[in-house]
Amino acid sequence: MVMTPRKKKAQISVYLDPTTMGLLGDYAARRGEPQSLIAEAAIASFLSPDAAEQREAAIAKRLDQMDRRMARLERDLGISVETLAVFVRFWLATTSALPEPAVQAARTKAGERYEAFVAALGRRLAKGPTLAHEVSEDSGVYKA
């Protein structure tokens, strides 16, 4: 086996602010590597001609993921709005008007029912899976 001679590395002095120096020391300690090796790798990465392209690719990937999430949110919001509109139309078409003497009693009862509804909704949201996730688990169509 032929040994090739190692090139001698040039030494430089660098002044770092205390925060950066602390971060470098912590990172080197976690990795079990000398600080000079970490600094050399960081400088090489910074000066690499493809470093900007790698950052751009990473940012583009993240933006694509965010775009897909936003599209799902828009779809889900559209479904929710349409669901509510269909319910309101159905309710208005099937519910008859009350006679005048019963209106005040109905308003009182409606207030009680609304308060119970809000309390139940709060418990439902606090405890666990939403209807959308239950539907997705049952149908296998929705991907949250």
Query: Does any domain span residue 94?
Result: no
In a domain, 22, yes or no: yes
* pLDDT tens profile 23-78: 999 999 999 999 999 999 888 888 887 877 888 888 999 999 999 999 999 999 99
Domain count for the chain, please give it. Answer: 2
Residue 114 lies in a domain: yes
Most confident of 19-23, 38-42, 128-132: 19-23
Residue 34 domain boundaries: 18-49
Within a domain: residue 81? no
User: Does the pLDDT of residue 144 top 60, yes or no?
Assistant: no
Return the pLDDT at 99: 86
For residue 39, what are its two tokens?
Answer: 């600094």
The answer to whether residue 110 sits within a structural domain is yes
Beta-carbon contacts of residue 142 (< 8 Å; ≥ 6 apart): 132, 133, 135, 136
Say which amino acid occupies 92.
L
Q: Against a cut of 0.75, is the pTM above it?
A: no
Q: Is residue 54 part of a domain?
A: no
Choose among 48, 22, 44, 46: nearest CA to 35: 22
In a domain, residue 4? The reply is no
